[in-house]
Structure 1
Amino acid sequence: MHALPRMTIAIIATALAIPAAGGDHWPENRGPNHNDHLNSETVYPTRWSVATNENIRWVMPLPETGQSGIAVWNDKLFLTCFRKLSAEDISPKGTWVSETRGYCLDADSGEILWSCDLPGKRPNQVNGTFTDSTTPTPVTDGNHVWFVNAGGYMACHTLDGQRVWGREFEVRTKHSAKQFQPFLHDGNLYYAMMRDASDPERRPQTAKDYDKNSKTGWPWMYVRCFDALTGQPTAVIPDGISVHSKGALGSVHGETVLLHAKGGSHSPPEKPYGLGLSRLDAAHDLNWERPGLYFEGTHFIDDKHAYCFDKNDFFVLDLATGETIKQIRVRDTGSIVAFDETSGRYKPSAPAPKVKSPHLQTHRTNIGVGKYHFFMSGQPGVLGRINIETAEVNYLQVPIQVVVENGKRTFSWTEFQSGDTTGSGFQVEGDKRRLGHGFGHISAATPIVVNDHIYFCTVLGTVYVIDATADQFDEHALVAVNDLGLPGETWTLSPFTAANGHLYQRTSKEIICIGDQR
């Protein structure tokens, strides 16, 4: 482990920003604009440390672990956790649980105001490497809040905790914990699931239970919508969706559209594999479909384009037609600014080495800002940036973990400590990949952009703040490297939330309010 020299620390550390009072809401996973971006006159923090209590307003223990993001409306926070875990939840395959709980917290203190049961039907692996039953972020409109348990339950509550309705839904196989994030549109709650068993258009099930590799034996998944105030089903988007597709919202000619995908690992049954764009009108018509185009990284679209990666290239698509505007080679090209641990300094830019990983990017981590598209690469400790105008590909090496030694923060570039002990102190068992460095074949929290600063967060709780407007993608673009807690005691797959001048984030143990101290 090596400490950064003072010069380098000065480069990546910005002056402590004291957030002003603000009224920004973050009503669902994708944020107030449905694109993970927030532009605000409020100043948001870029530099902090939970480990040393720097620029932290409060930290509160959570009752149990979970992966949902945090929805914010005025003085209330909403998130989802597992119900209290016990040794009885451990099986030979790890810790598997179906039941979750929804929580409402006071935004000023982190105090729990109320909670509700969300009784799932299908157990999912706790702290799963990609998702688990708690992955869906709650949705609020300022009058109600909707919780979804990916194990098979959804519910609507008033903001003071009164249940309006709750309903079970059927889930399938090991991969029922879906990437898709719920959202509200035109009085409906949208979420991805199978058609009901009584639906004549539902495909029959011939697969064995928990078969994750069936090519045809599982009923298809669809994006379905329900009346937000009654829970009654109202429509089904006719084109299927893979459990791996998060879905992205945008607008074409003034109409709201949803980008969705079919395909991915474990041979999902929905066909043909590729991308599609559907209108969220009464008929949910399909605008276009691109069979054969790999779906990875489809959670970001802007006013004119949709973006995705295949195993070698980056594609820019016309949002209205699906036609390819640009295809940019990413694998085995570009340059990298790497860190020299011997000298303790960054090296000059050099040709990037060949990418050994089959994954160009870490799942769910791509996001666009202007003419640039950013991502966590599949290589440990490497961030990527694509200049869409010039097709230039640049990489920047970043520390794997923040280390606290004798009360001082230093950085580790290769070694790391991991651990996902829960808020109740429970030791989760299962897929060991969850305890890796957070790059490669694992999901990471979808980054957010606040006032042209990108917040990347790894499973270790290492947070990279990037200046999205920097001319050069080098150490000068790295605004700060922050932590969400001590090494070996911090674990998260949750996305950041920005509201009211503060950043909110959660780990498997606690919820954190980042910003001005009291």
Structure 2
Amino acid sequence: MLRHSLLLSLALVSFSSLALAQQRWPSHRGPNQNYHLSSKTSFPTTWSVSKGENIRWRMPLPETGHSGIAVWDDKLFLTCFKELSETDNRNNGTWAAESRGHCLDAKTGKLLWSCDLPGKRPNQVNGTFTDSTTPTPVTDGKHVWFVSAGGYMACYTVTGQKVWAKPFDVRTKHSAKQFQPFLHAGKLYYVMMRDSADPLRREQTAKDYDKNSKTGWPWMHVRTFDAMTGEAVDTLPQGISVHSKGALGQVNGQTVLLHAKGGGHSPPEKPYGIGLSKLNATHDQVWERPGLYFEGTHFVDQQHAYCFDKNDLVVLDLASGQTIKRIPVRNQGSIIRFDESAGKYLAPQAVEKGKSKHMLTHRSNIGVGRYHFFLGGQAGTLGRIDLESGEVNHLQVPLQVRYEAGKKVYQWKQFDSGDATGSGFVVEGDKRRLSHGFGHISAATPIVINNHIYFTTVLGTVYVVDATAETFDQRALVAVNDLGKPGETWTLAPLTAAEGCLYQRTAREIICIQ
């Protein structure tokens, strides 16, 4: 009986700890490292920032930035640029390396403390894919780790005391664009070059910021650092493309990392393909599949890895890397379009050959059960793949929401863009950042809460989709929400969920939705 009571107590403690952990969002990938959150707590599916509906608070940010928001109990962590000025403008836009880490009160949005992250290598501000502020902070409730893609990482206590900080070398073009830092077994994982003194580092001969050099770039690697000292510990030798976001999973109770090589602009890491590595002391490689053109849009669940090449979704056995299924996606399946003149959705029709070479928006895919979802490569389309039948369905969705005389109006083709910053500084540069947010752009990674998928576009439009809907039509679209007024709202950051609240940041503010 004593043993039974002890086991019951331990089970209750374990369950309580798990439930509490799932109400936190400690890093970019969420509490389960897969962008999924299952909770008995209800989370909002409908809101409007521009109307103030279901908004708990809004707080201006000191400057623009890309990072997601890490949440631990009553504290939020995110990264912004230092205050920008005209000195950051160059001939081809606004470029900056120096950023700042911020800690805010989760209940009010009040700024509690900040720290400097003085990166060395400027990246384009509000870049279409990333900038120096892209890495989301990581926290364990006692400490927080900030990483600037401009070349700086630091560890602080959650009350703002510095533990350690160090610069690191950044490749002059195409640095770690998509890979987000994470903690595992006392180590901080991030992607970067080998150190300059490392004899295995390849020489850099490419011209400064030349993105198309085929031979002149050093390889990028997943590297590990002692979380409490910052000391470099290990380097995964296989290399990783800057386009690969990396996906974490489990095989036989062992944490594994799926990482890809290849993609646009001839990345130097070879052979192109995808591989799986254990996150053990020696980082053993489990398998590698060369020859597959997997850029970085991949996802794993308990049994499989899901990877897009130029035309198909390839389903791999996670433990062995063997191909389970290849599902054609490009120009396949049906689409349900909206007829503006009639004010209604039409019957499904065959998908026409797409004009864009991108069949889906980069980094926008996520799996839920038997289905795989994504933002389409064409403006205003959501896609769903039935993994069992191979059926591919698309649904047209409005690009933007606006209010006219208090009435909600959907904009299906027209949109107003703008990346107004927290400081009021006007960013210059790549005009693609002011597009609709579909196609050739790295959209915010979608998240899943209790079988609802939240897709966020650069315009600040958030689509909430019922992942369990039997038919992928307009009834599966639960809501179309806004993060601010058209032309004044811009974000590449993912939503974060904790304690029944959604947190989101734009280029100008942070928002608590409840």
Q: State the partner residue of 1:196.
A: 195
Quick one: distance in 2 between partners of 1:27 and 1:455? 18
Per the normalisation by structure 2, the TM-score is 0.95
Quick one: distance in 2 between partners of 1:215 and 1:192? 20
Superposed counterparts of 1:68-467, under 5 Å: 68-467=67-466
**Matched residue type, 2:90:** S
Deviations 1:279-326 (A, max 9, x none): 111111111111121223544110001111111111111001111100
Which of 401-410 and 375-384 deviates more?
401-410
Quick one: distance in 2 between partners of 1:194 and 1:384? 36
Quick one: distance in 2 between partners of 1:408 and 1:468? 28
Per the normalisation by structure 1, the TM-score is 0.94
Contact kept, 8 Å, 2:246 with 2:296, in 1: the verdict is no
Q: State the partner residue of 2:500.
A: 501
> Secondary structure at 2:472's aligned position in 1?
coil
**Matched residue type, 2:224:** C
**Matched residue type, 1:378:** G
Contact kept, 8 Å, 2:176 with 2:191, in 1: the verdict is no
> Secondary structure at 1:300's aligned position in 2?
strand
**Matched residue type, 1:163:** K
Contact kept, 8 Å, 2:262 with 2:295, in 1: the verdict is no
Identity of aligned residues (%): 72
Deviations 1:7-44 (A, max 9, x none): xxxxxxxxxxxxxx997000000000000000000000
Q: State the partner residue of 1:483.
A: 482
**Matched residue type, 2:434:** L
Contact kept, 8 Å, 2:260 with 2:296, in 1: the verdict is no
Query: How far did residue 266 of structure 1 move?
Result: 1.1
> Secondary structure at 2:71's aligned position in 1?
strand
Which of 222-231 and 285-294 deviates more?
285-294
Quick one: distance in 2 between partners of 1:365 and 1:488? 23
**Matched residue type, 2:163:** V
Q: State the partner residue of 1:470.
A: 469
Please report the RMSD computed on the Cα atoms of aligned residues, expressed in angstroms.
1.1
Quick one: distance in 2 between partners of 1:297 and 1:202? 23
Quick one: distance in 1 between partners of 2:99 and 2:407? 38
Quick one: distance in 1 between partners of 2:290 and 2:22? 43
Q: State the partner residue of 1:3.
A: none
Q: In structure 2, do the counterparts of structure 1 residues 63 and 318 end up closer, same or farther at CA, with 3 Å as the change threshold?
A: same
Q: State the partner residue of 1:5.
A: none
Contact kept, 8 Å, 1:23 with 1:74, in 2: the verdict is no
> Secondary structure at 2:475's aligned position in 1?
helix
Contact kept, 8 Å, 2:272 with 2:290, in 1: the verdict is yes
In structure 1, the gaps of 5 or more residues are 1-20
**Matched residue type, 2:398:** P
Contact kept, 8 Å, 2:261 with 2:295, in 1: the verdict is no
Which of 237-246 and 450-459 deviates more?
237-246
Q: State the partner residue of 1:9.
A: none
> Secondary structure at 2:497's aligned position in 1?
strand
Deviations 1:319-352 (A, max 9, x none): 0111110000111210111101010001111112
Structure 1 residue ranges (4+ consecutive) displaced by more than 4 angstroms after TM superposition: none
Contact kept, 8 Å, 1:294 with 1:308, in 2: the verdict is no
Contact kept, 8 Å, 1:248 with 1:298, in 2: the verdict is no
Query: How far did residue 117 of structure 1 move?
Result: 0.1
Contact kept, 8 Å, 1:297 with 1:365, in 2: the verdict is no
Q: State the partner residue of 2:12.
A: none
Quick one: distance in 2 between partners of 1:286 and 1:229? 26
Query: How far did residue 435 of structure 1 move?
Result: 0.2
> Secondary structure at 1:201's aligned position in 2?
coil
In structure 2, the gaps of 5 or more residues are 1-19
Contact kept, 8 Å, 1:189 with 1:225, in 2: the verdict is yes
Contact kept, 8 Å, 2:22 with 2:31, in 1: the verdict is no
Q: In structure 2, do the counterparts of structure 1 residues 232 and 22 end up closer, same or farther at CA, with 3 Å as the change threshold?
A: closer
Q: State the partner residue of 1:30.
A: 29
> Secondary structure at 1:66's aligned position in 2?
coil
Query: How far did residue 177 of structure 1 move?
Result: 4.9
Quick one: distance in 2 between partners of 1:400 and 1:363? 17
Quick one: distance in 2 between partners of 1:295 and 1:454? 24
Quick one: distance in 1 between partners of 2:358 and 2:296? 11
Q: State the partner residue of 1:62.
A: 61
Deviations 1:372-406 (A, max 9, x none): 00000100000000000000000000000001112
Say which structure, 1 or 2, has more relative contact order (CA 8 Å, 6+ apart): 1
Which of 136-145 and 289-298 deviates more?
289-298
Contact kept, 8 Å, 1:263 with 1:273, in 2: the verdict is yes
Quick one: distance in 1 between partners of 2:386 and 2:22? 33
> Secondary structure at 2:174's aligned position in 1?
helix
Deviations 1:114-135 (A, max 9, x none): 0000000100000000000000
